[in-house]
Amino acid sequence: MILDMHAHVGRPNYSYRAAEFTNDDLAARMKQAGVSKCVVFSFYDVRDNEYISDACRGRDDLIPFAFINPKERNAREQLERMLGKEGFRGLKLHPFADGFHLNNFKLVDPLFEVCEHYGTPIICHGLADNVYNTVYAFAEMTDRFPKVNLVMAHGGFMWARKEAVRASKTRPNLFIETTCLYPDGIAEGIDEIGAEKYIFGSDAPWGDFEVDILKIKKAARRDEDLEMVLGGNLARLLRLEAR
Ligand SMILES: [Zn+2]
């Protein structure tokens, strides 16, 4: 079963070429590529959680994550409500787009506390493209909240990927998502920390399932590694078997 940790639907402002990318648009692509479930959240330029809630209602194939800016005054209450009552299953953070440091404890701790309470994972932009979401910040937050599973989207790209691997090696709750990583970097990381720390993402609609799945197949050469990266690890994080 192929599960994707990272896809967007909604009505982007400027970040995507089309005015809208809908749940059905995504589902059509999933069907074509044999993807069973996608974690979905808003585009970074709109953070439209209501759209996500509507898009996922009554659907088994889409798993909604709340996209929240911790700088908003009622951020903690928003997340409480969304995880507690509205069926959201995790949190997306984008320190770069929203202008906060991931390890600004005063701002970010409340959201981690809510996720710890609900046992839900967090995916955070981690491309090594700015000072807001350094590998050090990921390491600090995973040390601070050892029961919260934190997924580093884009895995540090080229420049911080080895640092990300080192940080993940000693932290059972720090995972690496595969968008923007090259096959060779993923293969090297799997040798170093094991396939259980890598989680497949497509970054749809920008990413293409077939290309990105092929990338993972080139990187994870053992069947059991491939199974973990393409679905097994995410199923564990989201406790899908238990549901
Ligand atoms: Zn994305």
Residue 190 counted as domain residue: yes
Q: How far is the CA of 208 from the centre of ligand 1 (A)?
A: 12
CA 108 to the chain's CA centroid: 17
Token pair, residue 32, equals: 């074509």
**What ranges in the chain are assigned the alpha helix state H?**
23-33, 49-56, 75-84, 95-98, 105-118, 135-144, 161-169, 183-193, 209-219, 223-227, 233-237
Question: Cis peptide leading into 95, omega within 30 of 0?
Answer: no
Mean pLDDT confidence for 38-53: 97
Ion ligand 1 — residues with CB under 5 Å? Answer: 203
| Contact call for residues 207 and 179 (beta carbons, < 8 A) | yes
Alpha carbons 109 and 216: distance in angstroms, whole number: 33
Q: Tens digits of per-residue pLDDT, 156-167?
A: 999 999 999 999
Mean pLDDT confidence for 179-183: 97
Token pair, residue 169, equals: 């090696």
Pairing of strands 62-64, 122-125: unpaired
Residue 231 counted as domain residue: yes
Residue 243 counted as domain residue: no
Mean pLDDT confidence for 41-52: 97
Token pair, residue 183, equals: 């096959």
What is residue 241's predicted lDDT score, i.e. its pLDDT? 73
Residue 148 counted as domain residue: yes
Q: How far is the CA of 154 from the centre of ligand 1 (A)?
A: 9
pTM strictly above 0.85: yes
pLDDT > 70: percent of the chain: 99
Q: How far is the CA of 43 from the centre of ligand 1 (A)?
A: 7
Tally the domains of the chain.
Answer: 1
Q: CA quadruple 79, 80, 86, 90: dihedral positive or negative? A: positive
Q: How far is the CA of 7 from the centre of ligand 1 (A)?
A: 6
Residue 164 counted as domain residue: yes
What is residue 229's predicted lDDT score, i.e. its pLDDT? 98
Nearest by Cα to 66 from 107, 94, 35:
94
Q: What is the CATH number of the domain that holds 153?
A: 3.20.20.140
What is residue 242's predicted lDDT score, i.e. its pLDDT? 55
Mean pLDDT for the chain?
97
Token pair, residue 204, equals: 């749809």
Q: How far is the CA of 188 from the centre of ligand 1 (A)?
A: 23
Residue 21 counted as domain residue: yes
Q: Tens digits of per-residue pLDDT, 185-239?
A: 999 999 999 999 999 999 999 999 999 999 999 999 999 999 999 999 999 999 9
What is residue 80's predicted lDDT score, i.e. its pLDDT? 98
What is residue 58's predicted lDDT score, i.e. its pLDDT? 96
Residue 169 counted as domain residue: yes
Banded pLDDT at 97 (limits 50, 70, 90): very high
Range(s) of the domain holding residue 151: 2-237
Q: How far is the CA of 205 from the centre of ligand 1 (A)?
A: 9
Q: Tens digits of per-residue pLDDT, 103-154?
A: 999 999 999 999 999 999 999 999 999 999 999 999 999 999 999 999 999 9
Mean pLDDT confidence for 79-89: 97
Asked if the model's pLDDT at residue 2 lies above 90, the reply is yes
Residue 22 counted as domain residue: yes
Q: How far is the CA of 44 from the centre of ligand 1 (A)?
A: 8
